[in-house]
Amino acid sequence: MLDFGLLLVSGLLLILPGWSSLASPYVFTIASLIPPGISLGIAKDYHLQWKSAFNWFTLVGCLAIAVFAITNPETLKTIAIPLFHGVAGFVIFLEPFFAKDAPKGFWWTGIGSALIGTGAGVLNCWLTIQLLLVKQAFATI
């Protein structure tokens, strides 16, 4: 339920002010907290043996993402976000294929996660290319 709320708030923050809101550390933080929450739910449902350790990992990750995104220490932010967000993404992607006693179509969660990850990679490449083109345009002026 918390993840749905985060997704709703994140979507509204993108729709109402527009794409410029992506530069806000608050939108970034809210959007970065969605995968750890989803992966925590999957871990609690299908891997009880590592539920406690993953609870702590997710708590530390969510706090690190929130604090580093708002206080903006670049080095720590570039470590914390890929680490915790990436591990959560891999849990969401891989766990549906290995979960025992999962519902019949649960593997579609892994497929959806792969599609979302691919979309995020394409978006990152597009933003990087635009940034490089802007830098190149300023360099020629």
**What is the tens place of the pLDDT at every residue in 71-126?**
877 778 778 888 888 888 888 899 889 888 888 899 998 998 899 888 888 877 88
Q: What is the pLDDT, as a whole number, of residue 8?
A: 77
Specify the pTM: 0.74
Q: How many percent of the chain have pLDDT more than 90?
A: 5
Which residue from 49, 44, 22 is spatially nearest to 127, judged by alpha carbons? 22
Provide the domain limits for residue 108: 2-140
Domain count, the chain: 1
Number of neighbours of residue 2 by Cβ within 10 angstroms: 12
Q: What is the pLDDT, as a whole number, of residue 108?
A: 92
* Cα–Cα distance, 98 to 109 (Å, whole number): 12
Burial class of residue 35, CB neighbours in 10 A (0-12, 13-18, 19+): buried
Q: What is the pLDDT, as a whole number, of residue 37?
A: 83
SS3 33: coil
